[in-house]
Amino acid sequence: MYAALSSQPDGTVLVTTLDDEGSTIGQPQIVDGRSLPAAVAGLEPQHPRWVWDDTSRWYSALLDAGVRVERCVDLRLSHAILRRSELTAASELAGLPLSSWDRGAIESVEVAAGDVLFDLDRPMESAAEDPLEEFRMQRKAIASATDPGRIGLLLAAESAGALVAAEMQFAGLPWRADLHDEILASNLGPRPKPGQRPVLLEEVLERVREAFDAPELNPDSPAELLKALSRAGIVVTSTRSWELKKIEHPGIPPLLEYKKLARLLSANGWQWLDVNVRGGRFYPDYVPGGVVTGRWASKGGGGALQLPKQVRAAVVADDGWKLVVADASQLEPRILAALSGDRGMAEAGRSKDMYAAIVASGAVATRDQAKVAMLGAMYGATTGESGRLMPKLTRAYPQAIALVEMAARAGERGEIVTTRLGRSSPLPGEGWREIQGDAYGEAATDADQKRARSQARGWGRFTRNFVVQGSAAEWALCWMATVRHGLNEMAGTAWLTDAPHLVFFMHDELVVHCPADVAAEVERTLRDSAAQAGRLMFGELPVEFPLSVAIVDNYGQAK
């Protein structure tokens, strides 16, 4: 059973129960905003799938009112997938013009000002369309898909992810501002007055200035820094750390130290603490489906998905509680093995340490080479050691390499590629097509062709990575959804934050905050769910998805 929420122009909400095809069951209920949580809670015992345009909008308000739901359909996230998916390309939905169901959709409008017409891009009006209509359209698209099971699983996982995002945002990540302050003070010195540099940063800066004999140097300015380096006889094309590390000069160590400290200060310093942490919690702003590949993005200064290891010791479980930190080991290579069905690579993928198993199979000589070679295969490396290892990898795992090569060739031709569950890549932009077209024209120069080849290869690297990164993101969604279900079972009737609950997600890593006495049970749930995610996506496939799990008091203790 489904239950749809739609906003009415007068501010009331229509609650409509629906069957699988989207036909209305019984009489819709009209409720005002205040009584909506009670209405939702009243229907929840029937386990409906809640249908709404935007989970972060509806569910955040419900959570604030103390109401949780089990399942939902996030129409906007689903729409984005269905519109682009190769599996539903023939559907009516895929052929519709852009509307408010397409996030970030813009329409071009002509605005007259006196005699002049201006072409403006403006956002589409939102919520103009009826969610019930959209829901029926989506059900039809799914039913007519080339593989309804796959796309259906993807949409369910995507929507479950949206529920998790809202719940994690509601609960917040336990954060000890006093410990964060200690970390900053030990690295940078005590918090300075506004506009001043912390003392330890100032000291390192002085050492840099002395070493380069540049008393006014501001190393934050790449242009200035480049000049100072060249005066010291150092020739570099950029001021990136990994480039500077190669250089022997007494000024380089303090410069690298300065960059590290300056980064800590500007990205996760006292300002960050003031803005992002309140009442002992950090409230990240997740954006499910925010990345083309299906990965989540984050917005706002929090930078949840870039939380540096330096400050993780400030993430501390409440008294009597633990953090269970679980990380899917070597997820992307395992995904590639499972996707391609390559027997040799799947064999390696059954091992706890896939890279060691690749070495053991004789494909490459060292574990480091195995890692670099696999990364190169998934990212499209052509040069360096990674590029040199490709022929060896191809010999050892022909099917796996063929899969990523085919994805790359498709991208180079300007075609789309699709993940395991049916998320398809975008088409390259108009500019890209023009460049390709120019290279075949009468007047094409060598430079035109070179540019076109380089652009084509670039898009090929994107599509090559898309299938692996996107399928890995799907695995993570299946894992997360299953974990959430398992934790709910454990919680019984207890409220979200009074029982084991998810507090953090970062691509292939989950953190659960739970009472200490159930931490071991939570670990089992995490591990079982990882295995279940593998089965959901690949059936009984001979690839393992092992986790490294740490039960800790603070996040910094997890490796």
| CB distance 104 to 442 below 8 Å | no
The CA-atom distances, in angstroms, between 372 and each of 255, 336, 389 are: 28, 15, 8
DSSP alpha helices (H): ranges in 440-507? Answer: 446-491
Output the smallest distance, CB 221 to DNA, in A.
Answer: 3
Q: Which of 303, 341, 398, 556 binds DNA (CB under 7 A)?
A: 303
Q: Is 240 in the site for DNA (CB under 7 A)?
A: yes
Q: Which of 70, 102, 257, 509 binds DNA (CB under 7 A)?
A: 509
- Euclidean distance between CA atoms 504 and 268, whole angstroms: 17
Output the smallest distance, CB 29 to DNA, in A.
Answer: 37
Output the smallest distance, CB 293 to DNA, in A.
Answer: 5
- Euclidean distance between CA atoms 76 and 182, whole angstroms: 43
Q: From start to end of 320-412, where are the E strands?
A: 321-328
- Euclidean distance between CA atoms 52 and 60, whole angstroms: 13
Output the smallest distance, CB 194 to DNA, in A.
Answer: 12
- Euclidean distance between CA atoms 360 and 106, whole angstroms: 53
Identify the DSSP state of 194: T
Output the smallest distance, CB 259 to DNA, in A.
Answer: 4
Q: Find the part of the chain contacting DNA (CB under 7 A) among 68-76, 155-163, 367-375, 520-528.
A: 367-375
CB 238: neighbour CB atoms within 10 A?
Answer: 11
Output the smallest distance, CB 380 to DNA, in A.
Answer: 5
How long, in residues, is the chain? Answer: 559
- Euclidean distance between CA atoms 395 and 24, whole angstroms: 57
Q: Find the part of the chain contacting DNA (CB under 7 A) among 335-343, 357-365, 459-467, 488-496.
A: 459-467
Output the smallest distance, CB 466 to DNA, in A.
Answer: 7
- Euclidean distance between CA atoms 487 and 472, whole angstroms: 22
Q: Which of 267, 416, 496, 531 binds DNA (CB under 7 A)?
A: 267
Output the smallest distance, CB 70 to DNA, in A.
Answer: 29
Q: Which of 138, 239, 340, 455 binds DNA (CB under 7 A)?
A: 239
Q: Is 224 in the site for DNA (CB under 7 A)?
A: yes
- Euclidean distance between CA atoms 32 and 17, whole angstroms: 17
Q: Is 179 in the site for DNA (CB under 7 A)?
A: no
Q: Position of tokens 């290279």?
A: 439
Q: Is 193 in the site for DNA (CB under 7 A)?
A: no
Binding mask 386-405 for DNA (x = CB under 7 A): x-------------------
Output the smallest distance, CB 248 to DNA, in A.
Answer: 11
| Assigned token pair, 110 | 């002509």
CB 257: neighbour CB atoms within 10 A?
Answer: 17
Q: Is 406 in the site for DNA (CB under 7 A)?
A: no
Q: Is 447 in the site for DNA (CB under 7 A)?
A: no
Q: Find the part of the chain contacting DNA (CB under 7 A) among 22-30, 109-117, 235-243, 539-547.
A: 235-243
Please choose, from the candidates 512, 518, 517, the residue with its C-alpha nearest in 3D space to the C-alpha of residue 558.
Answer: 512
Is the CB of 174 or the CB of 294 nearer to DNA? 294
| Assigned token pair, 524 | 């089992």
Q: Which residues bind DNA (CB under 7 A)?
A: 218, 220-224, 226, 238-242, 245-246, 259-260, 263, 266-267, 287, 290-293, 295, 297-303, 305-310, 331, 368-369, 372, 375-376, 379-386, 458, 461-462, 465-466, 469, 506-509
